Amino acid sequence: MSKLKEKFLKSEKLEVELYDIHAHIGGYNRDYPVFDGESRKIIEEMDRLNIKKAIVMPLGVYGTEWFYQNEKLINDCKKYSERLVGFCLVNLNYPEKVIGKEITRCRDEGIRGIKLIASYQNCEDTDKKTEYVCEYANHYKMPILNHNWGNPDFLEKMVKKYQYIQYICGHFSFIWKDVVNNYENVWLCTCNYLGFGTVEKMVNEIRNDRICWGSDFSDLHFGFTLGPILLSSISDEIKIKIISENTKNLIERYCI
Amino acid sequence: MEFFDIKSGIGVFSKPTGYTEPEELLRIMKNYSIKKSLVYHALSREISPVEGNKILIEKIKEFENLIPVYGLLPRNSGDIENFERYIEKAIKDGVKSFLITYNTFKIPLSHYLYSETLEILNEFKLPVIIDPTLPFSNWQVDSGDWQSIRLICEKYPDLPVIFTEFRTRYHIRIVIDFIKNYKNFYYDVGSCWNYRVVEKLVGIKNGENLVLGTNLPFSEPGQSLGMILCSDISESIKKKIAYGNIEKIIVKNE
């Protein structure tokens, strides 16, 4: 049996340091009460599970008070700069000028990347403002994590046009397979509801150096996203790439 | 850690699945350290409990770690001639719990209450599993009929009522209240994926009212198993949720 699986089944702490490509902080959400959502407690939880670093975005993604949400993020990322890598929230309902000004403000305060989530803001994933954000990010070589890039054609169009961006698909789907496999700068987060057998299929069909574990904390339970990887029948070597090495590479090379 | 799964199915479903036969399910269970499962049949879930229940009993009779769950239609529905006799026969055949998937048959959950369907189950204290998820649904969230579940819990305070669904998100605020107020209400933690939800629910009654469902053959079992294994709770409570609580309910009825 895989050593990682064996340890996980015994609820033992993993020796490998985890890197999380998709997480949220902020403490409050419309959909449910966020239990132990204070940043200090989240850091304690990261310690408990041996999570070295996480890419974090505001939890309140709907766009309400998005400057305030980003301000909270900036403060937490400064406070826990060794653990949290901040990606600022963009509200696509606002004019391009306002969006650009807010990203610049966040960038000046140490934020490394951009988070897009058009559908939660009643916007189209493929709206021209998404392209505006890509144009901006390309200029400053900022990574973008998008909840949904709309469709593979749109993502590929952006990838070809704006080559200095690291594109992160925020939620797993096989629809991104070809774009991830064909380009160096497209990364795929594992976070999503997964049907039976998905992890093994994922690893067989998608380049293993671009599959990155995302917990989606403090939205989702750590076990919901870690369990399928650690209990799967893929090798420990690939498990370590997914839960640790790939995101570590992304952060160290492109989130500086 | 060993697990006792409260929700897995066998048979050929309307959508292709990774396995169909009980032997295959047993192999998967072994791989995930799942020792026992409460099992229903695809026909019970998607077309007819009367036909599916019958096939289920035949299919799994030789496998002691697969425990049959009967799909349940309401009393006087026209499907079963003598409801009480049907339930008594099911119990003789080793059935340990009954699954109510009322939305599949477009029957209000409250009708199960008012048609006195639950009277005989209450007599035997057989757990009732309530799942509002539609069989063809890919992404059905927060579907519980909480008013009816409340009435069931209140009318039959000694009947174990287990709630499970594809996903609870907003309704976790209601689930918390139910766990606090109804000692016969049980919740499948595999239904809610929210951050630190297991820890929060355990904090209410020490994990006594929590059980675990994998939703095989549809879902990746690591999702619900992982939520127990990863939780910031004691080993003894993990074991209760993973195995002990459902075993206790079932053994009590033997």
Q: Do A220 and B193 touch (CB under 8 A)?
A: yes
Residue A201, amino acid? K
Chain B contact probe: residue of A24, A32, A148, A172 with most B CBs at under 10 A: A32
Question: Do B220 and A8 count as a contact with CB atoms less than 8 A apart?
Answer: no
> How many residues are there in chain B?
254
If you write DSSP's letter for every residue of A20-50 in order, what string do you get?
EEEEEESS--SSS--TT-SHHHHHHHHHHTT
Only one residue has tokens 């993990």, namely B238
Q: In the structure, what pLDDT confidence band is assigned to residue B26 with cuts at 50, 70 and 90?
A: very high
The reported pLDDT for the residue numbered B254 is: 57
Tokens 């209410």 sit on residue: B204
Mean pLDDT of B111-125: 94
Chain B residues with beta carbon closer than 8 angstroms to that of A220: 193-195
Where chain A has pLDDT below 70, the residues are none
Determine the distance in angstroms separating the CA of A253 from the nearest CA of chain B, rounded to an integer. 29
Confidence class of residue B20 from pLDDT cuts 50, 70 and 90? very high
CB contact burial B86-104 (16+ within 10 A = b; e otherwise): bbeebeeeebbbbbbbbbb
Q: In this prediction, what percent of chain B has a pLDDT beyond 90?
A: 95
Query: Average pLDDT for residues B43-67, to the nearest whole number?
Result: 97
CB within 8 Å: B219 and A195: yes
pLDDT for the residue B252: 62
Segment (H or E) for B53: helix B49-60
ipTM attached to this prediction: 0.95
The pLDDT of residue B1: 95
* Pair of tokens at residue A108: 């000046």
Alpha-carbon gap: A24 to the closest alpha carbon of chain B (Å): 11
CB contact under 8 A, A219 and B195: yes
Whole-prediction pTM: 0.97
Residue B139 has a pLDDT of 84
Tell me whether residues A221 and B197 touch, CB distance under 8 A. yes
The pLDDT value recorded for residue B253 is: 57
Across B69-78, average pLDDT: 96
B226: nearest CB among A10, A227, A233:
A227
